[in-house]
Amino acid sequence: MKKKTVYVGLAADILHKGHINILKTANRYGNVIVGLLTDQAIASYKNIPYLNYEKRKVVIENIRYVKKVIPQDTLDYIYNLKLIKPDYVVHGDDWKTGVQKKTRERVIKTLKKWSGKLIEPKYTKNISSTLIKKEMNNLIYSPENRVSRLKRLINSKEIVRILESHNSLTGLIIDKINVEKNKKVVEFDGMWSSSLTDSATKGLPDNSSLSFSARIASLNDMMDVTAKPLVFDADNGGQIEHLPFLVRSLERSGASAIIMEDKVGLKKNSLFKDQSGAKQDKPQLFAKKIKKICNSRQSQDFMVIARIESFIVGKSLKDALHRAEIYSKAGADAILIHSKEKTPAQIFSFAKEFKKSKNFKPLVSVPSTYSKVYEKDLIKNGFKLVIYANQLLRAAYPAMQNTARTILKNKRAFEADKKIISIKEIINLVKND
């Protein structure tokens, strides 16, 4: 008699005995085909896996209970089920509730069409990849793994969400904080090392007076205790001849991308109203800088993002588009189109035109002045990365000022206690175990 076919959908990032249980059971019913969830499928409901598809596939296809591995491109099973028409689907009974509940119902309905059956072994308690990952987050990524992670995120997620970090503590917040919305876990994907907030934290203006070596020292503090990717704000990159050394330091530290703006002369923050004296570089000269970085980086996964300042200095959409073409051809992996308007109309008009180009590259937005924009609208308009560039420092500073004022007013600290976390909490914030 022909052996039956059994379908098992798995993410299989960190294998544990729960997976083996499922595969062993499935193997009793027939030939096991594993539908291995792609990075995109996993990113649709939680963070991307530690290991990419190919690495996970090699492990799964070498398990003796498995006959074949095929990609499952969505959380939904239906496409693969219709393709294979398996006699059985095997899945742990944990999906009866939670984010996969609907998927389960659809699987049952689809299987019915050819009298297939769903087998649901009891879920192995107290072990799951998510639990193991929590433990593993205490471990530090190798720089190599972290560098490539941003590109993987961009290729897997609808939009990559980056938040400003100016020290280790803010890095830890970005690493750990999440909220659950519509049964999906929402979190930040990485950190932005902002020239503005790094300088301000050190009491300096955002005019490149803080040296790159000091910036890299801040970056290393964050990298020491965090795991998520970091995007480095390099102002205009400085002298072209110095760029390879900056890139070497960044890659060695594990940064995933450098963002370089096309300005020359004394640096002025782009959100200043008065941009007189701020000058844009000649597009061809700036393109040379991009090429220099492309040629000096060790890893092709280390991204060069060109930041166009045309709108900031009052130039036209045409100028911005002209520059985007040149920077893209020079090798930029993505384009940041900056704006200090109150609405995203300006950057959306840019996106609309640039999308038509054969040199189109993923777009980056920094919604500081147009902060009403929702991520879903950025996605709709072709943006792949959003950088919330300064909010954590802007939150911390008034809170600290208020506390200082409260102590001064009351000539004691008691009144301030109500608005600040307890000493116990701060001690436990960073544990020593």
Of the two residues 56 and 384, which places its CB atom closer to ligand SPV in the complex?
Answer: 384
* Pick 91 or 166: Cβ nearer Mg ion: 166
Which residue in the set 233, 251, 262, 333 belongs to the binding site for ligand SPV (CB under 6 A)? 233
87 binds, among ligand SPV, Mg ion, none (CB under 5 to 8 A by kind): none
Q: Which is nearer to Mg ion, 7 or 192 (CB)?
A: 192
Containing H/E element for 280?
Answer: strand 279-280
What three-state secondary structure class fits 112? helix
Considering the complex, what minimum distance in angstroms separates the CB of residue 369 from ligand SPV? 8
Q: Is 206 a catalytic residue?
A: yes
Q: Which of 6, 42, 366, 393 binds ligand SPV (CB under 6 A)?
A: 366
Catalytic-role residue among 13, 39, 189, 206 = 206
Question: Residue 127, Cβ neighbours under 10 Å: how many?
Answer: 15
For residue 136, give the H/E element and its range: helix 129-136
Q: Is 389 in the site for ligand SPV (CB under 6 A)?
A: yes
Q: Is 170 in the site for ligand SPV (CB under 6 A)?
A: no
Look at strands 68-72 and 31-37 and give their pairing. parallel
Q: Does 335 bind ligand SPV (CB under 6 A)?
A: no
Minimal distance, residue 366 CB to ligand SPV, in Å = 5
Q: Which is nearer to ligand SPV, 118 or 264 (CB)?
A: 264
Report long-range pairs for 396-405 (Cβ below 8 Å, ≥24 apart).
396/170
DSSP 241: G
Q: Which span sits near ligand SPV by CB under 6 A: 76-84, 141-149, 154-162, 192-200?
A: 192-200
Which of 368, 384, 385, 386 binds ligand SPV (CB under 6 A)? It is 368
DSSP secondary-structure letter at 106?
A: H
Site for ligand SPV contains 194 (CB under 6 A): yes
Residues 6+ apart with CB under 8 A from 202: 210, 214
280, 265 Cβ separation under 8 angstroms: no
Give residues with Cβ within 8 angstroms of 410, minimum separation 6: 416
Decide whether 147 or 260 has the Cβ nearer to Mg ion: 260
Cβ 338 vs Cβ 367: under 8 Å: no
Binding site partner of 390, from Mg ion, ligand SPV, none, Cβ cut-off 5-8 A by kind: ligand SPV
Residue 282 phi/psi, 5-degree rounding, is -70, 135
- Residue 48 CA: distances (Å) to CA of 255, 280, 351, 364, 381: 18, 38, 26, 20, 23
Cβ closer to Mg ion: 47 or 199? 199
Question: Residue 36 in contact with residue 5, Cβ under 8 Å?
Answer: no
Based on the shown chain and the rule CB under 6 A, indicate whether residue 195 belongs to the binding site for ligand SPV: yes
- By CB under 6 A, name the one of 236, 270, 339, 346 that touches ligand SPV: 270
Contact residues: Mg ion, CB under 5 A: 195-196, 233
Distance of closest approach, residue 179 Cβ to ligand SPV, in angstroms: 24
Burial 8-37 (b: 16+ CB within 10 A, else e): bbbbbbbbeebbebbbbbbbebbbbbbbbb
Q: Which does 271 bind (CB under 5 to 8 A by kind): ligand SPV, Mg ion, none?
A: ligand SPV
Helix 168-176 vs helix 391-410: crossing angle, to nearest 10: 120
Task: Report, as residue numbers or ranges, the catalytic residues.
Answer: 206
Return residues touching ligand SPV (CB under 6 A). 194-196, 206, 233, 269-271, 366, 368, 389-390
